[in-house]
């Protein structure tokens, strides 16, 4: 969790939310001109009204208070405060912003002022804009007005927000205001002037502020995320983050070109070499101005991309998988970008890091109940803020997080087609509707992140990849009937839920993908109710007997512990998935005394010895230790058992494996076989015809409980056991949104809660 002094907030920009007031004396900014050009903005939208924040700021700030917002990062509109960019100050604007800030403070919200979030005065643009050598002084004059009028009520200032965006999009590619595509030499001069303007603003703020203030700059960048945590991949990602791999028509989308001069007093050597033919002259005085001391680095982080090291250690960008998650605006979703971005920044520049923007555009709608249920945004924010905490917990000096944004607003060239807010705005009547994500974020702030997933132990459904076993008596029905990819032609067993060393299933989905069930039992015992056993207690198999299995018996725990190196004994039960008409199983024997038992076995009187029990599809048989038993040809069985592979073969029909008879365990078998055998009717019951849509208990013994369900439609139940193994033995359906089918096996962990099943399925479940 985060400490109490962590800064939680939301962020906005003036142009995107304020709108206009004909009486306020504001000047024209470059975006006012840009939006009037046909084809520039989606749907021909403009920001003349937008959220109408200039008239509704008290309502919206009050709403922020109700929603637990502690800090608000917003920008001043330069052209509103100084209509001509320089010269006469618009006192109406100063009064409005002062009133806005004082009202924030009255509501317990700490202001964070961004001097520039792209609202460049049009008059100055016509005099050369950022390309002009005078632009640093123009910006310094504006910063002086801000310092004199707001520093008494605001302690935190950001000079320039996301320079990569307005430099690259506005002056290199031309998709943002002012819509220029500058020759490369002029674009480098422009960025140099912007950095000088930043330095001049730092000087002015410190000189004219009424009190000591904290100052930073807030660039942005898509974060390279190492595909593994091997040192080579980490270093490759770091190189990509601070290196110069962009094409020249995208050069301004860079990070170290903006931050190195500020923090190190010089441009990066790699960039100087790559851009040498385009660069203006940089004087020592320029670099001294640019490198004025700052207090923190702001960083807007929205997404990332996977990187690995190639053979030379250079970053190689990995293609995203088809269908990989993305936001409504099409940006990739890779939460780890928050961790690596924060880590890389702090390690390189040794300054506190503030996440000044992070959020997602979603396809939000007001539902029939009048609410906006933006669960996808909650999931995005939870994952990303959790990665901020990961960095924070490792000692990275991340001091704040500002969510973009509070209100849906004018999203630059996309107009109103994208919604980033945690408050929905109806742009016809300006009505506000608080989204579910706002309530969720309120809880995050109130608890300093206690409700984040990183602070909760994940409890997903564990879908397993079965282990398939070739057996001399096996067939092919596990492939034809269950759809498994068979490793051979004689596959007799599918270990569907197993943590046994002889067949350890892997998890095929969710945060534990790639882990084995035994690893989860060892390291994530909470998933299984923190049981004290030394191993996962159960093993679930599907058995396809093309031929008869050996006549066998299992020991109990005491005998196995003494004679099998501490292994568990083996109590098991069978559900008959399928069998031929008139089928029989071997369950029990006909010997009346131990002496008769030994004679029958040693003399090979197998027909007299074994007891055959008629079975049909849907029968359930309990096999206790000491019970002679065998599955016969043509049977398909789901077996639930103790997590043990101890089997004593009494007789194997003289079969050969690899040219040799399989090992028998006659003396041990005689030791453990119970005499006389219990009556067959005590072992077998038919459960095919049971009530639908409820768990029907088949057995409860010292080692397991087993249930059957015939699902037809939908049913809801609460998982209250330490864990619940579930196997789909027929049909298909859905479990909590996941499509499942015959042959699937999964575990519902401890504390999972409500489980919703839908479809037509036969299910067998087991627990302890």
Q: pLDDT for 636-680, tens place per residue?
A: 999 999 999 899 999 998 888 788 888 999 999 999 999 999 887
Sign of CA dihedral 749, 752, 753, 754: negative
Of the candidates 59, 246, 347, 357, the residue annotated as catalytic is 357
> Minimal CA–CA distance to 643: which of 495, 464, 500?
500
Query: Using 50, 70 and 90 to split pLDDT, how confident is the model at 489?
Result: confident
* pLDDT at residue 754, as a whole number: 97
Residue 14, pLDDT > 90, answer yes
Query: Using 50, 70 and 90 to split pLDDT, how confident is the model at 687?
Result: confident
Region 186-205: mean pLDDT is: 98
* pLDDT at residue 282, as a whole number: 94
> Minimal CA–CA distance to 121: which of 142, 100, 101?
142
357 belongs to the catalytic site: yes
* pLDDT at residue 683, as a whole number: 74
* pLDDT at residue 243, as a whole number: 97
Listed in sequence order, the residues at least 6 apart from 51 whose beta carbon sits closer than 8 Å to its beta carbon are 16, 17, 18, 19, 60, 407, 408, 409, 410, 425, 430
Listed in sequence order, the residues at least 6 apart from 554 whose beta carbon sits closer than 8 Å to its beta carbon are 569, 570, 571, 572, 623, 625, 626, 627, 644, 646, 647, 648, 672
Structure tokens at 45: 């939208």
Of the candidates 18, 119, 162, 418, the residue annotated as catalytic is 162
Please, what is the end-to-end C-alpha distance for the chain in angstroms?
A: 35
Query: Using 50, 70 and 90 to split pLDDT, how confident is the model at 681?
Result: confident
Region 307-334: mean pLDDT is: 96
CA 665, CA 672: separation in Å to the nearest integer? 11
Please say whether the beta carbons of 269 and 282 come within 8 A.
Answer: no
3-state secondary structure of 526: helix
CA 376, CA 329: separation in Å to the nearest integer? 13
Name the packing angle between helices 53-66 and 91-106 (round to 10°). 10
Residue-wise pLDDT for 101-145, tens only, equals 999 999 999 999 999 999 999 999 999 999 999 999 999 999 999
Domains of the chain in sequence order = 7-223+252-268+282-304+331-455 (3.20.20.80), 462-686 (2.60.120.10), 696-767 (2.60.120.10)
Task: Return mean pLDDT, the chain.
Answer: 96
* pLDDT at residue 136, as a whole number: 98
Q: What percentage of the chain reaches a pLDDT higher than 90?
A: 95
Residue-wise pLDDT for 92-102, tens only, equals 999 999 999 99
Residue 682, pLDDT > 80, answer no
Query: Using 50, 70 and 90 to split pLDDT, how confident is the model at 510?
Result: confident
* pLDDT at residue 576, as a whole number: 96
394 belongs to the catalytic site: no
Query: Using 50, 70 and 90 to split pLDDT, how confident is the model at 419?
Result: very high
Length of the chain: 768
Query: Using 50, 70 and 90 to split pLDDT, how confident is the model at 421?
Result: very high
Residue 684, pLDDT > 90, answer no
Strands 156-161 and 223-226: unpaired
* pLDDT at residue 206, as a whole number: 98
Residue 219, pLDDT > 90, answer yes
Residue carrying structure tokens 């994208």: 418
Residue-wise pLDDT for 591-603, tens only, equals 999 999 999 999 9
CA 669, CA 675: separation in Å to the nearest integer? 12
Residue-wise pLDDT for 731-747, tens only, equals 999 999 999 999 999 99
Adjacent-strand bridge partners of 685: 620
Please say whether the beta carbons of 243 and 315 come within 8 A.
Answer: yes
Region 334-350: mean pLDDT is: 98
Q: What is the dihedral of CA 496, 497, 499, 505, to 10 degrees?
A: 50
């Amino acid at each position: 969790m985060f400490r109490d002094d962590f800064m939680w907030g939301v962020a906005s920009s003036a142009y995107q939310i304020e709108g206009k007031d004909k009486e306020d004396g504001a000047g024209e900014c470059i975006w006012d001109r840009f939006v009037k050009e046909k084809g520039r903005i989606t749907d021909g939208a403009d920001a003349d009204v937008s959220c109408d924040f200039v008239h509704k700021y008290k309502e919206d700030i009050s709403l922020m208070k109700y929603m637990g917002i502690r800090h608000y990062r917003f920008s001043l509109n330069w052209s509103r405060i100084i209509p001509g960019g320089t010269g006469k100050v618009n006192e109406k604007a100063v009064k409005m912003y002062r009133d806005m800030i004082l009202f924030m403070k009255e509501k317990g919200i700490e202001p964070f002022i961004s001097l520039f979030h792209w609202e460049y005065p049009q008059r100055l643009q016509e005099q050369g804009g950022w390309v002009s050598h005078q632009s640093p002084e123009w910006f310094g004059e504006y910063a002086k007005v801000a310092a004199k009028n707001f520093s008494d009520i605001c302690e935190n200032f950001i000079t320039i927000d996301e320079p990569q965006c307005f430099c690259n999009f506005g002056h290199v590619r031309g998709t943002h205001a002012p819509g220029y595509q500058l020759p490369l030499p002029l674009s480098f001069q422009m960025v140099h002037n912007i950095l000088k303007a930043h330095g001049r603003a730092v000087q002015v703020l410190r000189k004219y502020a009424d009190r000591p203030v904290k100052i930073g700059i807030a660039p942005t960048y898509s974060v390279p995320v190492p595909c593994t945590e091997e040192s080579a991949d980490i270093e490759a990602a770091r190189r990509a983050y601070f290196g110069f791999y962009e094409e020249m028509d995208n050069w301004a989308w860079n990070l170290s070109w903006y931050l190195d001069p500020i923090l190190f007093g010089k441009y990066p050597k790699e960039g100087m070499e790559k851009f040498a033919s385009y660069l203006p002259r940089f004087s020592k005085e320029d670099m001294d101005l640019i490198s004025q001391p700052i207090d923190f680095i702001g960083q807007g982080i929205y997404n990332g991309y996977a990187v690995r090291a190639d053979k030379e250690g250079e970053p190689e960008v990995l293609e995203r998988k088809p269908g990989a998650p993305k936001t409504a605006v099409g940006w990739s979703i890779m939460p780890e970008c928050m961790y690596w971005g924060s880590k890389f920044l702090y390690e390189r520049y040794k300054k506190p890091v503030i996440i000044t923007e992070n959020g997602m555009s979603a396809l939000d709608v007001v539902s029939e109940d009048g609410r906006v249920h933006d669960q996808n945004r909650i999931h995005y924010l939870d994952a990303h803020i959790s990665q901020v905490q990961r960095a924070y917990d490792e000692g990275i000096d991340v001091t704040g997080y500002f969510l973009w944004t509070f209100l849906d607003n004018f999203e630059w060239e996309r107009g109103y087609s994208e919604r980033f807010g945690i408050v929905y705005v109806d742009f016809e009547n300006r009505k506000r509707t608080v989204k579910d994500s706002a309530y969720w974020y309120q809880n995050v702030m109130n608890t300093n992140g206690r409700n984040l997933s990183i602070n909760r132990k994940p409890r997903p459904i564990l879908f397993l990849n079965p282990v398939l076993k070739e057996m001399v008596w096996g067939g092919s029905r596990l492939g034809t009937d269950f759809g498994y990819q068979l490793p051979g032609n004689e596959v007799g067993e599918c270990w569907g839920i197993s943590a046994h060393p002889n067949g350890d299933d892997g998890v095929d989905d969710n945060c534990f993908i790639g882990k084995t069930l035994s690893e989860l039992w060892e390291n994530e015992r909470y998933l299984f109710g923190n049981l004290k056993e030394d191993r996962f207690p159960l093993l679930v198999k599907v058995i396809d007997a093309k031929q008869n299995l050996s006549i066998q018996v299992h020991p109990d725990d005491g005998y196995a512990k003494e004679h099998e190196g501490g292994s568990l004994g083996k109590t098991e039960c069978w559900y008959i998935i399928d069998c031929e008409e008139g089928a029989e199983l071997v369950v029990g024997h006909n010997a009346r005394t131990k002496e008769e038992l030994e004679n029958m076995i040693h003399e090979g009187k197998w027909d007299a010895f074994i007891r055959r029990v008629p079975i049909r599809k849907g029968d359930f048989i309990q096999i206790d230790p000491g019970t002679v038993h065998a599955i016969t040809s043509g049977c398909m069985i789901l077996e639930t058992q103790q997590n043990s592979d101890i089997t004593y073969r009494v007789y194997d029909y003289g079969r050969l494996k690899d040219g040799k008879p399989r090992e028998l365990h006659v003396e041990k078998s005689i030791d453990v076989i119970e005499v006389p055998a219990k009556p067959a009717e005590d072992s077998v019951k038919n459960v095919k015809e049971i009530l639908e849509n409820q768990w029907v208990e088949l057995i409860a013994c010292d080692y397991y409980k087993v249930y059957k369900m015939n699902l037809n439609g939908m049913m809801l139940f609460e998982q209250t056991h330490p864990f619940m193994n579930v196997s789909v033995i027929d049909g298909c359906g859905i479990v909590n949104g996941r499509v499942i089918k015959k042959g699937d096996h999964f575990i519902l962990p401890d504390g999972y809660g409500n489980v919703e099943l839908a479809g037509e399925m036969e299910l067998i479940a087991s627990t302890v």
